[in-house]
A and B are shown apart, each in its own frame.
Chain A
Amino acid sequence: MPVVIGAFILFLLLGLPLAYAFGLAGLWGIHETGLNLKVVPTRLITTIDSMTLLAAPFYILAGEIMNAAGITDRLVLLSRRIVGGIRGATAYANVLASIFFSGISGSSVADTAALGQIFVHGMAREGYSRAFSSAVTVASAIIGPIIPPSITAVIYSAITGVSVISLFVAGVVPGLLFGLACFAVIFVKGRRGGLPEPQRVADDGTPTWRLLIDGLAVLSLPVVIVWGTVGGVFTPTEAGGVACLHALLLGVFVFRSITLKSFWTGLQNAARSSATVFFLVAMVSLASYVLIIEGIGSITQILQIWFADQPVRFMLGSVGLLLVLGMFLEPTIIIIVFIPLLTPVARNLGIDDVHFAMVAILTLTMGMITPPVGINLFIILRIAKIGMLPLLRELSAFLVAEFVVILLIILVPALSVWLPNLLT
């Protein structure tokens, strides 16, 4: 076990991609522990050979098609119109756009990359600091994998067997709460005079009704997914494929901006993004194999004894652990390696599967915007061309607000469990 962990850290510090670091550390560990190398191709194929996981490329593709249809700009315009001319308008619009965008995107990285360009530069022109604009952008970008669809939920479901549909539906309320938390931080900052006066912003004069139709068209995507799966028309995986066709139809008939060429580029991009996710999953499975064989599973029994009859304390402990892990590792990796150790304990403590899943997913998602290794931070720093410290100074209030939401969701299970129980 020490060999794998040591080798992995060494490889990371030598600049290898996460996937390669896991793969090589795993191969090294398999050799070192005298295990059979024949197991390598078995792990590489069977871990990604899952019907549940297949939903991920579908949702990535649906997002790509919507992107190719030029949807992002329309969402931004619509959000601005809705917010109007209040103080901090564009900051609120940033959050609102993320909420809309989360309906078509399953990952926070896609959200940061797409909205970051538009908002960071746009807000800077209106007098917001680049650090604050970046902070709003990433803090709201993590709504993407919480409101359905969600790649993180798909992977979580594949690993734990918790229904994807339930996880999708359960994400709606917490996702909106994250949005509210962002609004609250902006509001407080505005009250303290920390935001510039609202200004006239560039507007192409598209009639509001047209924008509303576009907005409704975008929101129809998550609605089709949830309606189709909850209503029992298709499975969550099939819903992903339907979402792609739906996005394509919208692109051709509503937005009328998609071309054969942009569609093909969308397919290529989706294949690339999805391949990097799945390749990472496959490579992590080599390292996790060694950890499992070497007995990492015994942690579960230890936790069971530690947290006997203490569900809330266990949830808080899990959140702490996941927060720390999330500072250094990607959600996918943590779900594969650590979540299987925690879920049996949660089940034995009588915690609802969906409740625990939501708390875990929210915490892991926050890890995407915590230093030192939050991937979204790097993306936004590159876009905004600012340093990490100024960004963190602005981001900290958002992190605290979102953490409060997580605590709330731990203490009030209904926030995550009520909607799926109602609908399903």
Chain B
Amino acid sequence: ADVTVKFASAFASPEIAEYQAIAAFKDFVESRSGGEIEIKLFAQSLGGDREMFEQVQQGSLEMSFPADGAIAGFYPPVQVLSIPYAVPSSTVAWRLFESDFMKGLTDDMREQTGVRTLALSESGFRSMSNNVRTIKTPEDMVGLKMRTMESPVFMELMRSLGSVPTPLPATEIVISLKQGVVDGQENPIPTIANSGIGEVQKFVSADEHVLGVQFVITNDEWWNGLEAKHQQILKDGSILLAQLSQATKQAQMDEAIAKLEGMGTEVYINSLAEKRMFRDVAQPGVRAYIEGLLGTEIVADYLAAVDLATEQVYGN
């Protein structure tokens, strides 16, 4: 092969949407380039998202597929994506990815970090689960002990809702829920269904508080040294990867809900009106934190871009 691409990711299990999308990317690129490009996949073996981003930045890895949370340390502005209850649906998120705002954000990230974004993919909204009650409105969150990542954004979100945020490592979520260290946690619904969390939770509520975004990234310097035709194939492949991943995730959503219900877990889908109540209670605190971090301008621009995308998708 003329070009070898080391592509590392955190996804090792063949049932996962991201894994399937990355495998499709490999097939697509290798066959379209007639074997001129070889994709070497590394699953879960070269560290976490943060470490893989750093390796792409160095040029040690050519490509990776990290989540927004891990990028924040290298490029803080991506944290605007974590403003809770900002994006109303997946379709709006997909539209948002095409916006001038996101293009500006990823261009700026490339200039600041040397890491180029080839495509964006929605990795699902995070939702609440717990063992105490069905979460319909913000009042239902009051007093619950909720496991979160040790992240100011998520801890502030829980505090705003009147819950007690409890940072715990991911490996101990299931056991902590079983033991009642915490009442609940928050994750995308497919994760709740497939990671064993669902088996130890009675109530899942699709409040869809924070949008998860994954970046198909590459080292910019390396990219600029590629032939145009190879760039084209890799770009096409990346878009395929991103779209396939988010589409498969959507398709797996019903399966995940059915699986949860099969375990005896109640799945409640919050209405738009309820989500608006959540937004009014939980957004200001996190928004203030993020504005303190990044300034008011970028937050306003982001929310305007979301409004525009919403309008484009649903009309008025």
Contact = CB atoms under 8 A, between A and B. Distances in A.
Given A46-B48, A161-B171, A38 B60 contact: yes
A220 interface: no
A233 B175 CA distance: 12
Contacts, number: 69
A206 interface: no
B159 interface: no
B107 interface: no
Given A38-B58, A38-B59, A46-B48, A232 B171 contact: no
B101 interface: no
A128 B54 CA distance: 59
Contact of A232 (B40, B43, B180): B180
A198 interface: no
Contacts of B172: 163-165, 235-236
B12 interface: yes
B152 interface: no
Given A42-B51, A46-B51, A235-B169, A35 B60 contact: yes
B171 A424 contact: no
A42 B58 contact: yes
Nearest to A289: B46
Which interface class (under 10, 10 to 19, 20 to 34, 35 or more) fits B?
A: 20 to 34
A344 interface: yes
A47 to B, nearest CB: 7
B58 A52 contact: no
Contact of B45 (A164, A165, A297): A297
A293 B6 contact: yes
A42 B55 contact: yes
A235 B176 CA distance: 8
Contact of B54 (A42, A47, A165, A235): A42
Interface string B174-189: 1110111110000000
A213 interface: no
A3 interface: no
Interface string B143-174: 00000000000000000000000001111101
Contacts of A293: 6, 42
Contacts of B48: 46
B50 interface: yes
Given A39-B55, A232-B179, A52 B171 contact: yes
A232 B176 CA distance: 6
Contacts of A164: 171-172
Given A42-B55, A235-B168, A47 B46 contact: no
Contacts of A231: 179
Interface residues of A, number: 32
B169 A230 contact: no
A285 to B, nearest CB: 9
A292 B44 CA distance: 11
A51 interface: yes
A292 B43 CA distance: 10
Contacts of B178: 424
B47 interface: yes
Nearest to A38: B58
Interface in A154-175: 157, 161-166
Contacts of B179: 230-232, 424
A223 to B, nearest CB: 16
Contact of A163 (B42, B175, B181, B182): B175
A165 B174 CA distance: 11
B205 to A, nearest CB: 23
A237 interface: yes
Interface in B46-91: 46-48, 50-51, 54-55, 58-60
Contacts of B45: 292, 297, 340
Interface of A: 35-36, 38-39, 42-43, 46-47, 51-52, 157, 161-166, 230-233, 235-237, 289, 292-293, 295, 297, 340, 344, 424
Given A42-B60, A46-B48, A163-B172, 15 more contacts: A38-B60, A39-B58, A39-B60, A43-B47, A46-B47, A52-B169, A162-B171, A231-B179, A232-B179, A293-B42, A297-B45, A340-B44, A340-B45, A424-B178, A424-B179
11 contacts: A39-B60, A42-B51, A42-B60, A51-B169, A161-B171, A163-B172, A230-B179, A235-B176, A237-B169, A289-B46, A297-B45
